[in-house]
Amino acid sequence: MNYTNLFRIAIRALIRNKLRAFLTMLGIIIGVASVIAMLAIGEGSKQKIRGQISSMGTNMVMVMPNMQRRGGVSLGSSSSMVLKYSDVQSLRNEATALSAVSPEVMASGQVIYSNQNTQTTIYGVSEEYLEIKKLEVLSGRFFNTNEIKDMSKVCILGQTVVTNLFGAGADPVGLSIRIKNLPFLIIGVLKDKGESGMGQDQDDLILAPYTTVQRRLAAIDYINGIFASAVSEEKSPTAIAEVEEILRRTHKLKESAENDFRVMSQTELLKTVTSITDIMTYLLGAIAGISLLVGGIGIMNIMFVSVTERTREIGLRMSIGGRGKDIMKQFLAESIILSILGGIMGVLFGYLLARLAGSLMTSHAIVKTQSVVLAFIVCFIIGVFFGWYPARKAANLNPIDALRYE
């Protein structure tokens, strides 16, 4: 029996029992649809988080002071004062894998405009900060080198601060606000950036020259951190190694001493978060896979019923020349067709489900080609695996007994 004939016979047998064929497929349809939808939702949220992290900055490399311990007591990372502006200078001069370096000095406090006030963080940075953090000036301008050198009392506001002090959509450039009782001139407003991947408001900030924040607001001689950009994503690991090497040297650390600073890169952060979402995705997919397995067992169940019910048909087919293997192939073909057809419908249904879930969760659900291909392979295997035993039962029937079966 050639395969076209086999296919025709199987299709005809299925068409004779349309409703039952559909109900059998339903298990596979639901199974495949849930796997596809779950993987799509997982992939969607992964890409969303990825997007948020990469919007935090351009191939960012962050240097923070390491938590120091004295007598076993942690002093907290902000308590350490190991990072100096000179470190920024060394990195600028020596690191080849870094394209931009900016110090970061933090101060938090009350900000007042006429009768409005708000609590926010003031970041003291240099001009490179804009590029490193992917920030854009919406109106006005950023401060320049002279203003850094002069410790000018100028500042740039984030959108949340603008909203809190002046109302949404206002343009306060040229006005003056008081930060910790010092008057600052607003020279620019940042474009809004939204929430970060961790749910942080990235617009609740004020930027000012680091010299101004260091001396006038925080009154310290160290800096809280260094933000830099690696020249490319691939160069991130090189950049980290360079930073470590340079800072260990400038900090005059002994061979045996631990780093008194921590270097992290955006790429690393991305990897960590991605691996977490991957685990989530596989977990969801595995749970959905169980329903696919149940669907497969459903196919086996129905194929068994079908073999028993069609015993006389099998007897007839054998008497007119069907060999055991022909009968076996027919029933296998039926179960494979059922599971593959179920797979196709399941993929379509799963795609719709993913779109629906995506629109409800405000993140896109992304159906990857791999998961579709995987679904089909799994369906084929299910068809063969769960069709095998019933098909063998059919093939081993004795034609004489089968013909007499009532």
Note the residues at the interface with another protein (CB under 8 A).
1-2, 4-5, 8-9, 12, 16, 312-313, 315-326, 399-400, 403
User: Measured from the CB of residue 20, what is the shortest distance to another protein in angstroms?
Assistant: 12
Residues 6 or more apart whose CB falls under 8 angstroms from that of 169 comprise none
Cα–Cα dist 63/126, whole Å: 15
Q: Which amino acid is at 280?
A: M
Q: Which is nearer to another protein, 106 or 318 (CB)?
A: 318
Residue 374: which of 347, 351, 356, 355 has the closest Cα? 347
Sheet strands (E) in 115-266 = 116-125, 137-140, 154-157, 176-179, 182-190, 205-209, 225-230, 261-265
Q: Which is nearer to another protein, 5 or 359 (CB)?
A: 5
Q: Which is nearer to another protein, 29 or 397 (CB)?
A: 397
User: Measured from the CB of residue 279, what is the shortest distance to another protein in angstroms?
Assistant: 50
Q: Which is nearer to another protein, 208 or 314 (CB)?
A: 314
Q: Which is nearer to another protein, 225 or 315 (CB)?
A: 315
User: Measured from the CB of residue 302, what is the shortest distance to another protein in angstroms?
Assistant: 17
Structure tokens at 72: 């076993």
User: Measured from the CB of residue 398, what is the shortest distance to another protein in angstroms?
Assistant: 8
DSSP characters over 227-273 = EEEESSSTTHHHHHHHHHHHHHHHTT--TTSPPSEEEEEHHHHHHHH
User: Radius of gyration over alpha carbons of the chain, in Å?
Assistant: 33
User: Measured from the CB of residue 335, what is the shortest distance to another protein in angstroms?
Assistant: 19
User: Measured from the CB of residue 17, what is the shortest distance to another protein in angstroms?
Assistant: 8
The one-character DSSP state at 320 is T
Q: Which is nearer to another protein, 9 or 338 (CB)?
A: 9
